[in-house]
Structure 1
Amino acid sequence: MDLLPIFLHEMEQEAATTRQFLSRVPADKFDWQPHPKSMTLMQLTTHIAELPSWVSLALTTDGLDFATVPYQPTVVSTTDELLAMLEKALADEKAALETASEDILTKPWTLRDGDTIYSTTPKHEVIRMTHNQTTHHRAQLGVYLRLLDIPIPGSYGPSADEGF
């Protein structure tokens, strides 16, 4: 069974839901956080928006070393900028999935910080983890939106705000 078409379909399906969630994020609340240990709304949403780019990173490199490429969170000023960030990451993911070959999916990919190795996994697992992280953080965003009294869109069916 070929995995690339499955990953591509999953990306397109989940992208629609992610767009709905991010489109409801009010820019005037970007600095809000539900708890001091929690990410701010901007940190969470820009992380969600950038996650699809990890698929292209996994397919085109052998890993990521934070010691040589330190993470720099993106700062946005508007919801439109946030959505544009998502669209760019999705376009990168789609292009990478459409041009990759199945045989690369079993090659190892390493996440590290210098000598500290966080994980070495096959590239197909990095793609799955990236999709799972998107779903996880989107659900987290749903809690943020609820706490801000912003109606939550449905994910896999209607939400309580959309009725049953």
Structure 2
Amino acid sequence: MITPQEFLIELEMEAATTRKMLEKIPDDKFGWKPHKKSMDIKTLSTHLADLAGWPDLILRTEQLDFENMGDYEYPDLNNRAEVLAYFEKQLAVSKAALAKASVADLVPNWTLRSGETIYDVSPKGKVVRMAFSQTVHHRAQLGVFLRLLDIPIPGSYGPSADEMEMEAKAATAG
């Protein structure tokens, strides 16, 4: 089983990539979406920033019920600076939670539901992994949104086409 400390390393690695992507969002495009069925950039980037706090949420609760959110509040973020500040806040609480967690803390089941409708019941460790996967998924969506807006995107696990093009131009100019 993966340890909380290994999750912490992965969280920090993914956070660096997510941060680079969030930094590219133009404030004047928060209402933009590529398709009527898509989220707008505000909703997508807020969700992406919120996901940074999910390891903490998972470790300190037994469930998330979309019909009874309790003290969970989804923020109203309206520009890149607010999204980045919220992302950093969420990241900090998850880093602290993972730093003090034990392997035993990852074993109990955690439930994702909406009232009586149960979407998933899994060990907390598996749900933390799912939250990381959701981060990668939504970060990729944001990359597509930015690409469609002709905004150069950063690489995730190596250089992006935009970064390689910039490097090639710099090499030929010098």
Give the TM-score normalised by the residue count of structure 1: 0.95
2:129 aligns with 128
Q: Per-residue deviation at 1:147?
A: 0.3
Deviations 1:27-86 (A, max 9, x none): 110000000000001110110000021111110111111221177642222211110010
DSSP-derived class of the 2:112 partner:
strand
* Partner of residue 34, structure 1: 34
Partner of 2:60: 60
1 CA distance for matches of 2:7 and 2:113?
Answer: 25
Deviations 1:88-147 (A, max 9, x none): 010011011011121121110011112111110000011000011101110111100000
Supply the AA of the counterpart residue of 2:62: D
- Note the 1:3-42 alignment, pairs <5 A: 3-42=3-42
- RMSD over aligned Cα, in angstroms? 1.5
Does structure 1 conserve the Cα–Cα contact (< 8 Å) formed by 2:50 and 2:90?
yes
Give 2:33's aligned amino acid: Q
Structure of greater Rg: 2
The 5 Å alignment of 1:48-87 reads 48-69=48-69, 73-87=74-88
Count of aligned pairs:
164
Whether the aligned pair in 2 keeps the contact of 1:66 and 1:114 (CA below 8 Å) is: yes
Measure the CA separation in 2 of the matches of 1:56 and 1:161.
34
Q: Which amino acid aligns with 2:147?
A: R
Match of 1:108 in 2: 109
**1:46 and 2:46 matched:** yes
The question of whether the paired residues in 1 share the 8 Å contact of 2:53 and 2:91 is answered with: yes
* Overall identity of the aligned pairs, in %: 55
What is the CA–CA distance in structure 1 between the aligned matches of 2:73 and 2:10, rounded to whole Å? Answer: 27
Gaps of 5+ in 2: 166-174
Residue matched to 1:138: 139
Structure 1 distance, partners of 2:58, 2:9, is 18
Give every structure 1 segment of 4 or more consecutive aligned residues whose post-TM-superposition deviation is greater than 3 Å: 70-73
- Please give the secondary structure, in 2, of the residue aligned with 1:153: coil
Q: In 2, distance between residues paired with 1:79 and 1:98? A: 28
Question: Letter of the aligned partner of 2:137 in structure 1?
Answer: H
TM-score by length of 2: 0.90
Distance of 2:108 and 2:18 partners within structure 1: 29
Q: Measure the CA separation in 2 of the matches of 1:35 and 1:162.
A: 27
